Structure 1
């Protein structure tokens, strides 16, 4: 790394320390974006020219609270790189817990049909289709803007032939059964304090779910078993400490209910498994 780049990164890191928990990483990602190279190339000093003037403007946007992913327009998730923009929730590493749980469930017998409820950028559906090359899937969202981004991601990743997207309200009107159902619903309490970059930039419709954060789980739960093929599984993201309150909402449908933790040991994923002989 040349001295100009090193100095620029140090200055940017100091500037971003007040807004970010990872100021150095943010600065490196922004410099890589300004240079049109990877962060790895930045760290290995593969660019020897001057620091672009655009870098200062990118740092200023981040210092004003704009999320890194909206500035660069991309976010890595599972094994894929997604385009993201205002109007869709930025995929989080915690959400990969859903895919990880599905991989464990389907080891040796891959799913053929996948449903992603509230698909947003298409992160969960497209990660699943990338994981299982013979699978096809459907993503549903109530936002036309989100569906446009999801469709563009499918095209960019070469998955458009296996991914369909539909405007809809959760599973209303869905009569098909699926081997795998994925869902990351809004689950934040209405009065919860969120980091500035989240509260001021990400879509509130994808974050907040009523006073207790459970409104969308209540809407999803009734008749959920009708969506699953025998032997199928649903993986639904949870907010911190919500498992004991959400699981009872899905009781009484003949589904086996369990939970998967994220890498930090938090209750992150509600798992609903249909028995092999289930006819519900």
Structure 2
């Protein structure tokens, strides 16, 4: 007896356990059938081929081990893009869009300022900025060559302002006063954080930082003070409960220190202007 769309979806939802399983199962079906999710709601009795069922079953096995959907299907939607991702990059999340919103509140669309996105991963922040600020000069860095390869592929497809990609650790190699704005979603999770096991499939080095999750943020702040121009901005994404700690890390040479909240209302992006 043929397995139909509705039968497979019902079985898939039973096999999984999270609140969003219905959507995850639909996304798998949409990806492997190359049809929009609405199609299956309108045609639930369409039979699935044996070859397709083999693909779907293999994907379901990966999901049950905790593998994120984005790594299985190979992409994640972010801003107005569909970005390629792999286990060499973090999966871009909607929380990070708060970084882009914050930058756009500081700079006009016609700006020709020099921006750098540190630890770019899939290139999400840098490429989104290039789409919104097409006259800007944008650089993106990462210490991981495999991540930079993913970012390069995404940039080729989605960038508007051309992006320079560099393999380096944070701001190492940047000249003094060479950037007008620095942005980053750095590692900020403490090694003992209870949420870390749920992120086991994502690159550990891009998630975890010493000193209660603040070590890399401290390094970036220290380096940025030299690399930024006078009145340049540094914007840092951080954990929902780290806003106060990050604000306290900016010293006497920074001003206009403030934190922007994400869509869930959590403190998410702390920024400061270079210069007393």
Q: Give the alignment's TM-score, normalised by structure 1.
A: 0.88
1:154-199, Cα deviation, whole Å (9 max, x unpaired): 112255x701111111001111533332100101111112264412
C-alpha distance in 1, partners of 2:39/2:144? 36
- Aligned match of 1:5: 5
Question: 5 Å matches for 1:163-242?
Answer: 163-175=163-175, 177-194=178-195, 196-199=197-200, 201-242=201-242
Corresponding residue number in structure 1 for 2:57: 56
CA RMSD across the alignment: 2.3
Partner of 2:76: 75
Q: Give 2:33's match in structure 1, choosing from 35, 41, 57.
A: 35
Gaps of 5+ in 1: none
The CA distance in 2 between the partners of 1:169 and 1:179, in whole Å, is: 19
Tell me, what secondary structure is at the counterpart of 1:205? helix
Which has the larger displacement, 221-230 or 126-135?
A: 221-230
| Matches of 1:44 and 1:271, distance apart in 2 | 47
Tell whether 2:111 aligns with 1:143. Answer: no
Q: Is the 8 A contact 2:152 2:165 kept in 1?
A: yes
8 Å Cα contact 2:114-2:180 kept in structure 1: yes
**Which residue in 2 is equivalent to 1:65?**
66
Asked whether the 8 Å contact 2:256–2:273 carries over to 1, the reply is yes
Alpha-carbon distance in structure 2 between the residues aligned to 1:263 and 1:150 = 26
- Give the deviation of 1:238 after TM superposition: 1.0
After TM superposition, the structure 1 stretch with the greater mean CA deviation from structure 2, 91-100 or 5-14, is 5-14
Deviations 1:97-136 (A, max 9, x none): 1011111222465353220001111110011111122223
CA distance in 1, matches of 2:212, 2:159: 39
CA distance in 1, matches of 2:44, 2:129: 34
**Are the equivalent residues in 2 in contact too, given 1:98–1:235 (CA < 8 A)?**
yes
- Gaps spanning 5+ residues in structure 2: where? none
TM-score normalised to structure 2 length: 0.89
Question: Contact 1:190/1:211 (CA < 8 Å) preserved in 2?
Answer: no
Q: Deviations over 1:140-166 (max 9, x none)?
A: 11111111111111112255x701111
Equivalent-residue separation in structure 2 for 1:57 and 1:43 (angstroms): 23
Change (3 A) 1:206 1:101: same
Q: Aligned runs of 1:233-252 on 2, under 5 Å? A: 233-252=233-252
User: Which residue in the other structure is 1:24 paired with?
Assistant: 22
* Alpha carbons of structure 1 residues 97 and 158: separation in structure 2 relative to 1, 3 Å: closer
